[in-house]
Amino acid sequence: MRIQKEAELEQGLVLEEADLALIHQLSRKKLTREEVYAFCVRLCDNEVDRDGERFSAECLGELARLFVGKSGIFDHQWSAAGQTARIYRTELVREEGTLTQAGDGYCYLKGYAYLLRTEKNRDLIAEIEGGIKKEVSVGCAVERAVCSICGADLRSGSCGHVKGQEYEGKLCFAELQGATDAYEWSFVAVPAQRNAGVIKTFDTQREQLEREARLGRKYLAGLKDEVARLGALADPELESGVLKGIADKLEEGELLALRRAYEVRLDKLYPAQTQLNYSGAQQREQKDGAFLI
């Protein structure tokens, strides 16, 4: 079960020798204190959140191990340039005297992350330092969401208890247990008017859509080149620029039909040579196919 939660960015911190040693393990390159910028992220805690869920303290302990080495990606303006931060250490922090809604001691998982102090990262570090609020979204996978009232798995809905409701004065919530994986975390710009809960699913969906769109454009561009190339072979009278212009205006279905037609024509014109062309086209198709998966 995949879980996505918001986290909180904390201030920058002063690096100790021990921190540098841990960073060194991840960077595989010896870095000096001046080359590294470090900051903290409050990754997740055992308080019941607005989804009526919380991590058990044991689960936070498991996540502490899983989050080490995981990358954080920034807004698109940053991630386009390849800026990433990495968690080099985690710590389960117990706040003495603070109780959760469920009545037990409050604790949270703190992540220590680092960034390289490069020219490219300078503005980004200034933003973090300046306290410009950024939402941090973290994702992980857990095995169970246990009902706080009866102990059944709440996802199956078999017990009939509803998250957020009280039963004889006891709050029903889902306790997330058995962490199995931790994913990349991301900084997302805070929209001016954000509805609670929207940001969590929106972000991953948007990334997925953008990735698919990128792959689609790449595939289509390859197909257009291929059609223009085959067209020039099949009809040497036509200028390649004209063919390219035509191909650019066509949709995928039309391009595939045209490619097929050119291949048939080339087969008739140059039986021996076309086999080579044809196999070339096949290979390209397979390559693009692999991108699309």
Residue nearer to Zn ion on the CB measure, 150 or 196: 150
The smaller minimum CB distance to Zn ion, of residues 59 and 147, is found at 147
Nearer to Zn ion, 66 or 152 (CB): 152
Say whether residue 159 binds Zn ion (CB under 5 A).
yes
Residue 149 interacts with Zn ion (CB under 5 A): yes or no: yes
Residues paired with residue 115 on neighbouring β-strands, in sequence order: 37
With CB under 5 A as the contact rule, the residue among 54, 86, 161, 200 that binds Zn ion is 161
What are the respective helix, strand and coil percentages of the chain, to the nearest 5? 40, 30, 30
Binding mask 9-48 for Zn ion (x = CB under 5 A): ----------------------------------------
Cα torsion 149, 150, 154, 157 to 10°: value is -110
Beta strand extents in the chain (DSSP E only)? 2-12, 36-45, 53-55, 71-73, 84-99, 105-116, 135-147, 166-167, 170-171, 174-182, 185-188
Least Å distance between CB 162 and Zn ion? 9
Closest distance of CB 141 from Zn ion, Å: 22
**In whole angstroms, what is the distance from residue 207 CA to residue 211 CA?**
6
Q: What whole-number distance in Å separates Cα of residue 2 and Cα of residue 203?
A: 14
Pick the closer one to Zn ion by CB: 147 or 232: 147
- Asked if 147 touches Zn ion (CB under 5 A), the answer is yes
**Strand bridging mode 166-167 / 174-182:** unpaired
Q: Which of 1, 99, 126, 150 binds Zn ion (CB under 5 A)?
A: 150
Choose the binding region for Zn ion from 34-42, 144-152, 213-221, 251-259 (rule: CB under 5 A).
144-152
Is 141 or 159 the residue whose CB approaches Zn ion more closely?
159
Residue 260, classed as helix, strand or coil, is helix
Count the residues of the shown chain that bind Zn ion, applying the rule CB under 5 A: 6
Residues forming contacts to Zn ion in the complex (CB under 5 A) are 147, 149-150, 152, 159, 161
